[in-house]
Amino acid sequence: MTRAEAVAVVLPLLADDDIVVAADGAISREAYRAHDRSRTFYMLGSMGQVASIALGLALTRMERVVALDGDGNLLMGLGGLALAGGRQPANFYHLVLDNGCYATTGGQPALSQDVDLAAVAAGAGYAWARRCFSAEHVTEAMTAWLAAPGPAFLDIEVDASNTDPAPRVPMTPEEMAARVRAALAT
C-alpha cells in the first residue's frame, strides 16, 4: 500500500467535524487530492510540529483532532509525542504513515526502521498504541484506532515508492489557515 492509498483510506473513515492536521510535504498534498475538507489544516513547513499543532487544537476544542504524521516528521519533533502522551487529551488521534525513509528528499533511510514508534508512544502515555505492517489489515487497524480511547496512536507501514506524486495544494498559506479558522468558528 502506498502512502497516498493509506491517506485515501483514512479520510473517509473520519467524522465530518473531525479536525485534521496534515503533515507538511507529500501527506498534505495527498490529503488534498484524496478528499479536501475545510477542517483539514495543510502544513507546508515547520517539519516536526504536526503533533504539537494538533495538540494545541485538541486542548482547546471538543472535537476529535487527527494528526496525519510521517515517520521522519515525527522523529524530528519527538518532544511533541511526549507532550501528547503526557497531557493525554482524549480527543487526540495520531496516525503515522511510515515509509521508513525521507521520501521527499530522495529516500534516505529514517531511524523509524530501527525505532518502534508505537512503543515510544505507549511509553509516553498514549492510551492506545499499535503498529500495522500488513496492507490487507489497514482498514481494520484504522477502524480500531478511531474506536480506541484517546490519545491513540497508529503506525502504518506504507511503501516507500511514490509513482504518482500529488500536486501542491492550490491555496496560499494565508487562505489555508483562514479557511480552517472560519470552518471552526461556525
Looking at residue 66, its amino acid is V
Looking at residue 136, its amino acid is E
Q: What are the cell numbers at 43?
A: 502544513
Instruction: Output the smallest distance, CB 5 to other proteins, in A.
Output: 27
Spatial strand order of the sheet with 65-70 comes to 40-42, 19-22, 65-70, 92-98, 152-157, 128-132
Residues forming beta bridges with residue 13, ordered by sequence position: none
Instruction: Output the smallest distance, CB 148 to other proteins, in A.
Output: 21
The C-alpha atoms of residue 21 and residue 73 are separated, in whole angstroms, by: 13
Among 4, 21, 101, 169, binds other proteins (CB under 8 A): 21
Give the binding-site size for other proteins (rule: CB under 8 A). 34
The C-alpha atoms of residue 82 and residue 129 are separated, in whole angstroms, by: 13
The residues in 74-93 that bind other proteins, with binding defined as CB under 8 A, are 77, 79-80, 82-83, 87
Sole window of 30-38, 45-53, 129-137, 145-153 interacting with other proteins (rule: CB under 8 A): 45-53
Name which of 79 and 125 has its Cβ closer to other proteins: 79
Q: What are the cell numbers at 90?
A: 482524549
Instruction: Output the smallest distance, CB 100 to other proteins, in A.
Output: 24
Residues forming beta bridges with residue 159, ordered by sequence position: 2
Residues forming beta bridges with residue 96, ordered by sequence position: 69, 155
Name which of 58 and 138 has its Cβ closer to other proteins: 58
Instruction: Output the smallest distance, CB 159 to other proteins, in A.
Output: 28
Residues within the interface to other proteins (CB under 8 A): 19, 21, 41, 43-49, 52-61, 77, 79-80, 82-83, 87, 173-174, 176-177, 180-181, 184-185
